[in-house]
């Protein structure tokens, strides 16, 4: 997840994002379910970043997305066995058995991908061809080290692949969908973002990741979206290894602790007009998204901070930027998109965002 490693996979991400733009361009003037479109693109991008594309393992994208959604739902589903451990062996709700079935299916896919990659690797070595160092390739290199301290087993590689898929395929599209919703609700903010994209990127060019460092308003829009609509509102549960006292409260050893980031990021004691979508509040530069400011924890904090933070920020920005730079968006019948939430592990919109795209770039080649 280092900058160097992510940059080496850029062409893989770029391919899928350009395909998304091409697909949407075919639907000009017609309603597009942006939630579904962004989610499918994100799955493709994650697969491209992790193991280079959908061809390895013949991955069924629809089935993969469906199982990922179900696996996430089971991940934090209320389980009576957690409250009464004595009945855990009976798995009364079937959560463990269902999870194991999904896990077996995922590991079967990953095993096929790994075997195909090893065969391809051998062929390329024989022909002295260049080997693309995507996430899987780097994991296999660690696997083949033979060093007990830093090498990875096959099962550890599969677990890491699953972690990345689960962590990225729901959170990134949800963030982009919320961002598009807020932009459509605030045309003045949308116009500011369009002006920045036209100034930095230009209407004759395609948006590239190299533009991102100069797109300060785009970055502020993503940060403000993560503040107002944190993707994981209660973060992931934490478990203290020893009994601790925090602010006068005793937190027992091995208890399950949830951090209400949603409430903290809307607290009027820390935020001016907290329910207002205002990207400019992040121009001050004193609010860090890396967990150093406890009123803003979209990715968590400390040693348990989201390992995919760099990828998530990069992906959310490039996806949102591509949608706004390439198209002008209108809502059906001029309606204002709602911001009603569907509470869950991932804080999604209750109703998917539907909008109508219109081409705004002068050159048709820019949509290919």
CB 320 within 8 A of CB 179: yes
Q: Does the annotation place 306 within a ligand binding site?
A: yes
Paired sense of beta strands 327-330 and 341-342, if any: unpaired
Phi first, then psi: give them for residue 195, nearest 5 degrees. Answer: -60, -40
Angle at alpha carbon of residue 66, lines to 62 and 69, rounded to 5° = 140
Residue 21 CB partners (closer than 8 Å, separation 6+): 322, 326, 367
**Rounded Cα distance, 144 and 179, in Å:** 42
- Name the 3-class secondary structure at 342: strand
Phi first, then psi: give them for residue 342, nearest 5 degrees. Answer: -110, 105
Cα distances (angstroms) measured from residue 226 to each of 185, 265, 279, 313, 330 = 16, 9, 11, 10, 23
Closest among 53, 14, 44, 13 to 137, alpha carbons compared: 53
Binding residue ranges: 306
Residues placed in the known binding site for heme? 306
């Amino acid at each position: 997840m280092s900058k160097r490693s992510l940059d080496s996979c850029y062409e893989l991400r770029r391919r899928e994002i350009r395909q998304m733009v091409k697909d949407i361009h075919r639907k000009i003037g017609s309603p597009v379910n942006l939630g579904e479109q962004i989610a499918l693109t994100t799955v493709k991008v994650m697969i491209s970043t992790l193991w280079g594309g959908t061809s390895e393992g013949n991955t069924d994208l629809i089935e993969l997305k469906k199982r990922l959604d179900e696996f996430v739902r089971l991940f934090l589903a209320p389980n009576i066995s957690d409250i009464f451990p004595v009945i855990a062996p009976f798995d009364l709700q079937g959560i463990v058995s269902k999870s194991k079935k999904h896990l077996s299916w995922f590991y079967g896919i990953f095993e096929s991908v790994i075997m195909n990659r090893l065969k391809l690797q051998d062929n390329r070595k024989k022909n002295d061809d260049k080997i693309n160092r995507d996430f899987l390739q780097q994991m296999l290199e660690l696997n083949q080290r033979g060093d007990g301290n830093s090498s990875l087993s096959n099962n550890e590689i599969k677990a890491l692949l699953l972690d990345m898929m689960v962590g990225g395929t729901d959170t990134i599209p949800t963030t982009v969908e919320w961002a598009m919703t807020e932009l459509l609700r605030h045309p003045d903010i949308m116009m500011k973002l369009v002006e920045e994209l036209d100034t930095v990127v230009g209407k004759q060019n395609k948006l590239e990741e190299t533009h991102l460092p100069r797109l300060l308003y785009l970055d502020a829009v993503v940060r403000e979206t993560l503040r107002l609509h944190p993707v994981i509102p209660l973060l992931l549960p934490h478990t203290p290894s020893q009994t601790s006292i925090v602010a006068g409260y005793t937190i027992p050893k091995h208890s399950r602790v949830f951090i209400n980031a949603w409430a903290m990021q809307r607290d009027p004691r820390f935020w001016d007009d907290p329910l207002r979508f205002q990207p400019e509040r992040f121009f001050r530069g004193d609010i860090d998204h890396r967990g150093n400011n406890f009123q803003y924890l979209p990715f968590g904090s400390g040693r348990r901070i989201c390992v995919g933070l760099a990828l998530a920020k990069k992906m959310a920005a490039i996806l949102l930027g591509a949608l706004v730079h390439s198209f002008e968006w209108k809502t059906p019948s001029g309606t204002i998109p709602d911001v009603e939430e569907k509470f869950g592990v991932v804080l999604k919109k209750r109703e998917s965002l539907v909008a109508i795209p219109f081409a705004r770039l002068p050159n048709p080649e820019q949509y290919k």
